[in-house]
Chains A and B, each alone.
Chain A
Amino acid sequence: MTGAGRPLFGEQTRFMLLLITPAALLLTLFQVVPIAIGANASFRDWALYNPKKTWVGLHHYEAVLSDPEFLWVVLPNTFIFMILSVAGALVLGLALALLLNRPFAGQKIVQTVLLVPLMVAPVIAAIMMRWMFNDQFGIVNAVLEGLGLDGQPWLVERWTAFGVIVMTDIWLWTPWYTLLLLAGLQSLPREPFEAAAIDGTSTWRVFTHLTLPMLRSVIVVCVVIRAIDAFRTFDIVWTLTGGGPGRSTELFSLYAYVLAFLTLDFGRGSAAAIIGGLIILVVGAVLYRVVDRIARV
Chain B
Amino acid sequence: MKRIARRTLTALAAVGAFAVGTAEAQVKELRIGYQPSPIQDASIAMFETWGAKKGIKIVKVPNSYGVYVEKMTASLTSNSDQYDVIWHNDDWGQLWAHLLEPTDDIPGLQFAEKWGMDKVVFGNAQGQNTVVPMGQTFSVFFYRTDLLQPNEVPKTLQEVVDVSKKLQAANKVKWGYVGGMAMNHSWFSWFWSMWGNNCDVLMPFYERDNKVLAQNGWKSSLGEPCMKQTVEYWWDAINTHKISPRGMPAYDRNEANAIFMAGDAAFTVADSLWWGTFTDPAKSKVATKIAAARFPLGPNRQKNFAWDDIWGWAIPKSIPAERKALAKEMLAAMMVDEEGQMKLWKATGAPPPNTQFWPKIAAQDPFMKLLKEAVLDSPDKVRGAYYFPQWPAVHKAFNDAVTKAVTGKREDIAKVLAENAESVSKAAQGK
Contacts and interface: CB of A to CB of B under 8 A. Distances in A.
B247 A134 contact: yes
A48 B396 contact: no
Contact of B407 (A135, A157, A241): A157
A156 B400 contact: no
A136 B250 contact: no
A137 B285 CA distance: 15
Specify which of A155, A161, A246, A263 lies most central, judged by the most chain B CB atoms within 10 Å of its CB.
A246
Contact of B95 (A49, A154, A161): A49
Contact of B389 (A246, A248, A261, A264): A264
Nearest to B265: A136
Contacts of A263: 390, 392-393, 396, 427
B418 to A, nearest CB: 15
Nearest to B174: A136
Contacts of A51: 77
A136 B259 contact: yes
A136 B77 contact: no
Contacts of A242: 182-183
Given A48-B77, A49-B95, A263-B427, A137 B258 contact: yes
Contacts of B427: 263
B245 A246 contact: no
Contacts of B69: 262
B72 to A, nearest CB: 11
Contacts of B430: 47, 265
Contacts of B73: 48-49, 264
Contacts of A154: 247
B396 A246 contact: no
A156 B396 contact: no
A136 B249 contact: no
Nearest to B400: A246
B389 A49 contact: yes
Interface string B397-417: 000110110010000000000
B57 to A, nearest CB: 30
Contacts of A49: 73, 77, 95-96, 99, 389
Contacts of A137: 258-259, 262
Q: How large is the interface on B (under 10, 10 to 19, 20 to 34, 35 or more residues)?
A: 35 or more
A136 B175 CA distance: 11
A156 to B, nearest CB: 5
Nearest to A141: B247
Interface in A154-181: 154-157, 161
A138 to B, nearest CB: 9
A179 to B, nearest CB: 31
Most B C-beta atoms less than 10 A away, residue of A136, A153, A265:
A136
B247 A135 contact: yes
A106 B49 CA distance: 56
Contact of B70 (A134, A244, A246, A261): A261
A244 B183 contact: yes
A245 B393 contact: no
A96 B287 CA distance: 48
A126 to B, nearest CB: 12
Nearest to A150: B246
A295 interface: no
Given A48-B77, A258-B396, A241 B389 contact: no
A238 interface: yes
A156 B74 contact: no
A137 B258 CA distance: 9
Interface in A19-70: 47-51
A244 B184 CA distance: 12
Interface in B60-85: 66-67, 69-70, 73-74, 77
A53 to B, nearest CB: 12
Contacts of B67: 261
B337 interface: no
A41 to B, nearest CB: 13
Contact of B400 (A157, A161, A247, A264): A247
A244 B389 contact: no
Nearest to B404: A246
Nearest to B264: A136
A264 B183 CA distance: 16
B413 to A, nearest CB: 13
Interface string A264-282: 1100000000000000000
A176 B316 CA distance: 44
B249 to A, nearest CB: 5
Contacts of B249: 156, 245
A154 B95 CA distance: 35
A137 B255 CA distance: 9
Nearest to B401: A246
A76 to B, nearest CB: 17
A244 B185 CA distance: 13
Interface in B237-257: 245-250, 255
B392 A262 contact: yes
A134 B427 CA distance: 32
Contacts of B99: 49
Contacts of B390: 263
Given A262-B393, A263-B393, A155 B403 contact: no
B403 A245 contact: yes
Contacts of B248: 156
A194 B23 CA distance: 80
A244 B182 contact: yes
Contacts of A244: 182-183, 250, 400, 403
B389 A47 contact: yes
Contact of A153 (B66, B246, B389, B393): B246
A156 B246 contact: yes
B404 A245 contact: yes
Given A136-B245, A246-B404, A262-B396, A50 B250 contact: no
B245 A135 contact: yes
A163 to B, nearest CB: 14
Contacts of A246: 400-401, 403-404, 407
26 contacts: A49-B77, A49-B95, A50-B98, A50-B389, A51-B77, A136-B255, A136-B262, A153-B245, A153-B246, A156-B246, A156-B249, A156-B250, A157-B407, A238-B66, A241-B250, A242-B182, A244-B183, A245-B407, A246-B400, A246-B401, A246-B407, A248-B404, A261-B74, A262-B69, A262-B392, A262-B396
Given A48-B77, A153-B247, 8 more contacts: A48-B74, A49-B73, A137-B259, A154-B247, A161-B250, A244-B400, A245-B407, A261-B67
Interface of A: 47-51, 134-137, 153-157, 161, 238, 241-242, 244-248, 258, 261-265
